[in-house]
Amino acid sequence: MLENIIEIILNYVDIDPSEITEDTFLRKDLGMSSLDMINLAVEAEDTFGISIPNSEIINISTVGELIAYIEKNK
């Protein structure tokens, strides 16, 4: 799943994919904006067939937290 999330993230940031781990902070390390986070949620919803409300995506800080949320809500 990490690879799928990295592919989605790379649509919003220009970074070497090898630098993205589960401990990577979406905003602090990758510089994702609030709009990027909403778009990331929409793309994750489409990819994984889940729903991520805006109220939830703003509380997700790291790649690992996003993965955990997706796995919990599949």
pLDDT digits (tens, 9 = 90+) for 45-71: 999 999 999 999 989 999 999 999 999
- The DSSP code for 8 is H
Q: What confidence score (pLDDT) does residue 25 get?
A: 98
Q: What confidence score (pLDDT) does residue 51 get?
A: 96
CATH number for the domain spanning 27: value is 1.10.1200.10
Q: What confidence score (pLDDT) does residue 59 get?
A: 93
> C-alpha distances in angstroms, 1 versus 33, 35, 67?
23, 23, 7
pTM for the structure as a whole: 0.94
Q: What confidence score (pLDDT) does residue 3 get?
A: 96
Its domain, for residue 60, covers: 2-72
Q: What confidence score (pLDDT) does residue 18 get?
A: 96
Q: What confidence score (pLDDT) does residue 39 get?
A: 96
Number of domains in the chain: 1
